[in-house]
A and B are shown apart, each in its own frame.
Chain A
Amino acid sequence: MADDAREARVLGAVVTLVDNLLQDFDVVELLTDLTEQCANLLDVSSAGLLLADARGGLHLMAATSDRTEEIELLQLQADEGPCLDCYATAQPVSIADLSVVGGRWPRFVPAAREAGFASVHAVPMTAAGSALGALGLFGTRPGALNESDLLVARSLAHVASVAIVQGHPPTPETVLPRLRAALASHVVVEQAKGFLRERLDVTVTEAFALLRRYAREHDTHASEVARRLMSEPAARPLIVEAIVRLTAAV
């Protein structure tokens, strides 16, 4: 197979998935798309996807064939299998040859082989370090998944994870104001640290601690206090005075 042509298709798939999820976003459609892209692009015969609910219970969300659906469901029923281990550890689990690992999953392995599978590779879906689910890639021939295939699977899973965590598609209306607000809010807190450093002759670290303490005692957020300090000059004397009292009380 021409590697360059395949890599170009792979890259195209990443971009397409991102583009798609920016449009009509639907978790089920996205995950169905993800499994189909994997089955088409990678050296595997089918793909399935298990996604965790808020309590950590896994659910089958997508499968590219009936046999795959059955074997994914069997893992859930038997409470064992590479996809479950992958989800539990948030690490990839790669089984190049199912015929030599029968003891590891006594119910899953015979059922998978019966269904015609010889290899399985599970890739975690993660966000912010915690596992959201597992993407199962099933092969009818034994063999390790090559590095670039694994990479593609992880990249695709990553894009899907980001979309799921957000719960909606990133659109200019939803995303940019939020990111802009996050950056602005951060800048203002840093400014307020500098302001207090100057007024109270403390370090920026001490200034930050005072800002947070003031916010806590007034049942508000540090970012809100910072915003008032920096944008409402009339509010400054009272806030600074109250913070001075905090330092005196120590």
Chain B
Amino acid sequence: MSIEASLVQALDGGRGADAADRLCEACVALLSVDAAAISLVFDGVNSATLGGSSDEARLFDELQFTFGEGPCLESVATRAPVLALDLGAEVVAGRWPAYGPALLDQGIAGVFAIPVLIAGEYVGALDLFRRQVVALDGQDLSGALVAAELAEMPLLDLIAATEQDPLEPGTPAWTELDKITRDEVSQATGMLVAQLDVDPAQALVRLRAHAYATNRSVTAVARDVLDRRLRLGAG
């Protein structure tokens, strides 16, 4: 079976966020990449991780949210694939000054992002991560393009779910959103609003700044805030 057909098969029977995870797992199994994630980008912000091949892949995606930069955000902003075969060289050249080193620290040597479109609109990207600096062969590239195209299907499921239900807790659509959004980050943001008497946007900036400064993921910092292991000072 061709790579393309195998990718189609990975989606078979699945729906929504689960299908997105299967698609990412299939990318890792079929293409020469070590991790894959599909992220949704709204208003220039990495809003949710629709699917990931592993927790690690979700972390690599989330780091873009922490630092507010990265190949996925860039591919949506420029409406084009972003291929950084040698991340180390890109970082030396000044690209992604925060995200790049953080990803190198995680042992990632190359990263690619391919835009995901719905109805002609750029809504996210398929991110592929590699631990070795190696050339991308034609088969990998065409497979990645097909996978990014297929990512439209789980996304359509999600859209259909949000169309069907009222946007309220307890509905199937809400459960889907639980899977793909960073709930701990939002909860910790709410705690900071109460603690620091700032608005939610400022609270989120504080959370991200702390993650940035301590070189951790926002989710890890958010967990500490939620468990009251960490208290961010005012000002």
Contact = CB atoms under 8 A, between A and B. Distances in A.
Asked if A pairs with B, the answer is: yes
Given A155-B8, A183-B40, A197 B119 contact: no
B79 to A, nearest CB: 14
Contacts of A158: 153
B72 interface: no
B194 A199 contact: yes
Given A148-B5, A199-B194, A179 B186 contact: no
Contacts, number: 161
A190 B160 contact: no
A180 B124 CA distance: 12
Contacts of B162: 178-179, 182
B170 to A, nearest CB: 8
Interface stretch (A37-45, A97-105, A134-142, A159-167): A159-167
A7 B156 contact: no
A247 interface: no
Given A7-B2, A190-B190, A198-B194, A166 B160 contact: yes
B42 A183 contact: yes
Q: Label chain B's interface by main secondary structure.
A: helix
A234 B178 CA distance: 29
A204 interface: yes
A23 to B, nearest CB: 9
Interface residues of A, number: 58
A183 B48 contact: yes
Interface in B1-32: 1-2, 4-5, 8-9, 11-13, 15
Given A170-B156, A221-B168, A194 B190 contact: yes
B5 A7 contact: yes
B156 A11 contact: no
B195 A198 contact: yes
Interface of B: 1-2, 4-5, 8-9, 11-13, 15, 40, 42-43, 47-48, 118-121, 123, 146, 149, 152-153, 156-164, 166-169, 172-174, 177-178, 181, 183, 186-195, 199-200, 226
